[in-house]
Amino acid sequence: MKVAKFGGSSMASANQLIKVANIVKDDASRKFIVVSAPGKRYKEDTKMTDLLIDLGKAYINQLPYEHQLNIIMERLTEIVTELDLPRDLLEEFAVSLKEVQKLHPNKESLMDAVKAIGEDSSAKMLSAYLNKIGIHASYVNPKEAGLILSDEPGNAQILPESFDKIRELKEREGVLVIPGFFGYTKEGKLVTFSRGGSDITGSIVAAGVNAELYENFTDVDSVYSVNPAFVPNPKKITKLTYREMRELSYAGFSVFHDEALIPAYHAKIPVAIKNTNNPTAEGTLIVAERDLNGQVVTGIASDTGFCNLFVSKYLMNREIGFGRKLLNIFEDEGVSFEHAPSGIDNMSVIFRERNLPREKEHVIIERIKNELHPDTVSISRGIAIIMVVGEGLVNSIGVANQATEAFTKAKVNIDMINQGSSEVSMMFGIQASDLECAIRSLYQSYFVEKSVVK
């Protein structure tokens, strides 16, 4: 039995829903279907979820909302009409879009409930269409499915008791279409995961029913070994491990919602990334373990927007608790950091720039000066992080040398190297302006020349 999750682009239009239905039809083991809200039909289009957020805001601020409501109903009407589905579906949608206001007097609850209508109507339309083409399918509300979540609107977490309840779904007949992104608290209140959370629903259902495979249908043929914006037609990754995926997704590989992998990871369920628009493409399989096949590096990820706070103090390493006091200042100021590598008499703290706004920078530097009396303290911004990721990295002589050689060839200065704390990655910090150059050189070295590594 498989769980297949279809993302926003797969649900964006009648035409896309037909592709989805064919994919479901093609493989009888695709029993559990989880769907996102309709996404963009073209680049400038607006996602259904964003339309719903606008409507929710209008409701909350008691502003006119007819315009938003009309746009939403138009999109739903278009799909229902083109698929020739029963018109009473539309009436049902219209009613829920209006009644949601009365049912959820609390603002946060109201927003979650409005957002959830996107996935909910997607599931109802797909279920209706599957039945229309002769597949026995039922819409299953997440409450009925057993998705019991913590009471954290907009950022809910699954509760462990859910999984037993979800397992019971296996007894039901036919294809089950479940809306992603939301569930219910123990008290029965609708709450959503964080944005993009349909991936999480799919992963939870896959773990609950102990699926043989969790298929995640999106609009790319596979995960690429490097960002195609930097290197044309890069090598596709056909198989990688959960932890490789994690390291890659940290630095810019955003195929997948980070949290979404957890339930599948714990239940050791393989995850396939597939393309709704090209379902016969091999795709990418995420597994617990894999053969190395001689390829040491699996992918090269990168992300910009980092900054580095550098503190030095003579004989720092004899001053007990210096590092802890430094990190406590960030905690006090509500600033979260990424890494804190230390030398003998110095410490670097790496942040995402969005977590260290300039107005906080001054406060933090003053506190460090006054409380820790360092010799120097400075911040450098505009740093890019590159992750070279691969299960083969451990115990490979020369693999770091290949990277540093690639940076040297590209005439790129390396600000930071962090190797060894992860078994499957090496992390480099460089100036963001050097990023494209560096990535091309690394790709050339690891994937084109593949110089000898033992």
Interacting residue ranges for a second copy, rule: CB under 8 A: 242-243, 246-247, 250, 258-259, 261-262, 265-266, 308, 310, 312, 314-315, 317-318, 320, 323-324, 327, 331, 336, 338-348, 387, 395-398, 400-401, 403-405, 407-408, 411-423, 425-427, 429, 454
Q: At a CB cut-off of 8 Å and minimum separation 6, what does 26 contact?
A: 279
Query: Min. distance of Cβ 251 from a second copy in angstroms?
Result: 9
Q: Which residues contact 262 (CB under 8 A, 6 or more apart)?
A: 203
Please count the CA atoms within 13 angstroms of the CA of 37 that sit on its side-chain side. Answer: 24
CB 326 → a second copy: shortest distance, Å? 12
Longest dimension (CA), the chain: 76
> Between vectors from CA 394 to CA 393 and to CA 400, what angle results, nearest 5°?
50
Q: Of 312 and 444, which CB lies nearer to a second copy in the complex structure?
A: 312
The rounded radius of gyration (Å) of the Cα atoms in the chain is: 25
Nearer to a second copy, 16 or 441 (CB): 441
Burial of 289 (0-12, 13-18, 19+ CB in 10 A): exposed
Cβ(391)–Cβ(292) below 8 Å = yes
Please, what is the minimum distance in Å from the beta carbon of residue 378 to a second copy? 10
Q: 73 or 416: whose CB is closer to a second copy?
A: 416
- A 10 A CB-CB count for 318 gives 9
- Residue 371 has, within 13 A of its CA and on its CB side, a CA count of 17
Q: Which is nearer to a second copy, 210 or 312 (CB)?
A: 312
Q: Which is nearer to a second copy, 141 or 250 (CB)?
A: 250
Kindly state the smallest distance separating residue 199's Cβ from a second copy, in Å: 14
Closest CA relative to residue 126, chosen from 7, 214, 219: 7
> Which one, 6 or 407, has the nearer CB to a second copy?
407
Identity of the residue, 29 or 336, whose beta carbon is nearer to a second copy in the bound complex: 336
Q: Does residue 154 contact residue 181 with C-beta atoms inside 8 Å?
A: no
Q: Are 329 and 371 in contact (CB under 8 A)?
A: yes
**CB of residue 418 vs a second copy: minimum separation in angstroms?**
6
- Residue closer to a second copy by CB (options 85, 261) is 261
Write down the least CB distance from residue 343 to a second copy, Å.
Answer: 3
Angle at 326 between CA 324 and CA 327, to 5 degrees: 65
**Burial bucket for residue 186 (CB in 10 Å: 0-12, 13-18, 19+):** exposed
Give the nearer residue to a second copy in terms of CB position, either 35 or 389. Answer: 389
Rank residues 73 and 400 by Cβ distance to a second copy and give the closer one.
400
Min dist CB 162 to a second copy, Å, is 18
- Within its chain, how far is the Cα of 93 from the centroid? 28
SS3 312: strand
What is the Cα–Cα distance from 374 to 311, expressed in whole angstroms?
7
Q: Least Å distance between CB 184 and a second copy? A: 24
Comparison of 22 and 336: residue with beta carbon closer to a second copy: 336
CB of 312 to a second copy, least distance (A): 8
Give 3-state DSSP helix, strand, coil % of the chain, rounded to 5. 45, 20, 35
Tell me the sheet residues that pair with 299.
389
Minimum gap (Å) between residue 235 Cβ and a second copy: 22
CB count within 10 Å of CB 15 equals 11
Q: How far is the CB of 13 from a second copy (least distance, A)?
A: 34
Task: Report the 10 Å Cβ neighbour count for 376.
Answer: 10
Minimum distance between the CB of residue 400 and a second copy, rounded to whole angstroms?
5
Q: CB-based contacts of 195: which residues, under 8 Å, 6+ apart?
A: 49
How many C-beta neighbours within 10 Å does residue 331 have? 10
